[in-house]
A = this chain, B = another copy of it.
Amino acid sequence: MAESILEKGRLAKQASRILYTVSTAKKNSFLRALATFLKQEVSTIREANAVDLEEARKTGLSPALLDRLTLNEKRTAQMIAGVRDVIRLPDPVGVVYEKTRRPNGLVIEKMRVPLGVIGIIYEARPNVTIDAATLCLKAGNAVLLRGGSEAIRTNLCLVQILRRALQDVGLPERCVEFVETTDRAAVAEMLKLNEYIDVVIPRGSKTLIKFIAESSSIPVIVHGEGNCHVYVDESANLKKAEEIVFNAKVQRPSVCNAAEKLLVHEKIASQFLPRIAARLHKANVELRGDERSRSLIGSITPATEDDWHKEYLELILAIKVVGNVQEAIDHINRYGTHHSDSIVTADRKNGEKFLREVDSAAVYVNASTRFTDGYEFGLGAEIGISTQKLHARGPMGLVELTSSKFIVHGKGQIRK
């Protein structure tokens, strides 16, 4: 098994050398062919998916995982629309984005280039096979994919279609490699392929991401947890604050940019908290609070130390009353996961202080944390949201799937 994964890595690396200089036109032809073939093969894809689902039901997969595994009509349509979206995105490869001329006449430029081979390790959702592969390929990278065992038949079917589209436009089919072995040991093997894989992007549960980050000797881009905060400052417009808090918590509670904590300035707490609490109650949000917020809202569960650290991903919100913006910032930097945090304020100075001092991937003044997303930020697409500080931080689009190189034009310069 180990040998076969090694071989896949080697072949993907070889294919990536060809992709390194492929034109935008050719990459877009591939994407067009892919969209066409996916549309043609929708019923084949859904049949494979039906077998995966049947097996998964037998093994007692949870309803949530069964849902993620399902490729219904709407989702296949979205998947195909996603491929067409990637065609429209500007190609980052070859773009020169910095230029300096040195006193000795050397002209030094920085050019974006593909990373090489990207390893994607994911779980139940088979649409990741297409979403991730198309973004990586558009940025000139080969991929080595490793999906979850529960989606194996759907994934194999999608990989076959990807390769057919590659062949159709004369690109090496090895640009998409797929690890069929559903054994977990296969992941461990993959994480040793430093020579062939340039970066690993895990997509899935906390457990998966933690395992990969800790055991990989290849650089990993971590899409981490979002324990996001909204802080309502003394000077906040309370109507705006209410809309922002409600949106950040309720609009889609299961995602990483949903708010999990509400911090409120003590001077407006008695006015704001009963109002927002009533609205959240109506939306079935469970509230937990520190002593001061509990005295203002009434019978809600006390928040424990553990609550301040937690990413709920469901309709729970923990509330704390703070003395000032500094206390809010300190709390967020201490307990947050450095994902997305927002201040609602009419005080310009406090807003700028918050933006500067909160150490998170995305920091907001007067907006919902729910905007932390590649589409919303104008990147056109998203391979994930990085919560680490190296290479990329926040939503990652095509540019974040590239590296750079210095290109230097000389006239015979030598070093003295």
Contact = CB atoms under 8 A, between A and B. Distances in A.
Interface of A: 17, 20-21, 94, 100, 102, 106, 108, 111, 113, 115-116, 194, 198-199, 213-215, 217, 219-221, 237, 240, 243-244, 246-248, 251, 333, 351, 355-357, 359-368, 370-372, 376-378, 388-391, 393-395, 403-415
Nearest to A363: B407
Contacts of A389: 115-116, 198-199, 403
Nearest to A410: B367
Given A363-B407, A366-B412, A405-B360, A371 B106 contact: yes
Given A243-B414, A378-B108, A393-B404, A20 B409 contact: no
A296 to B, nearest CB: 24
Contact of A415 (B360, B361, B371, B411): B371
Given A21-B356, A213-B217, 9 more contacts: A17-B333, A106-B376, A199-B390, A237-B412, A248-B414, A363-B407, A368-B410, A372-B406, A394-B406
Contact of A364 (B102, B214, B410): B410
Contacts of A403: 389-390, 393
Given A219-B388, A367-B106, A391-B391, A21 B406 contact: no
Nearest to A237: B412
Interface of chain A: mostly helix, strand, loop or mixed: mixed
B376 A102 contact: yes
8 smallest CB-CB distances across A and B, nearest first, come from: A367-B410, A247-B414, A389-B403, A240-B412, A370-B415, A391-B391, A362-B406, A366-B410
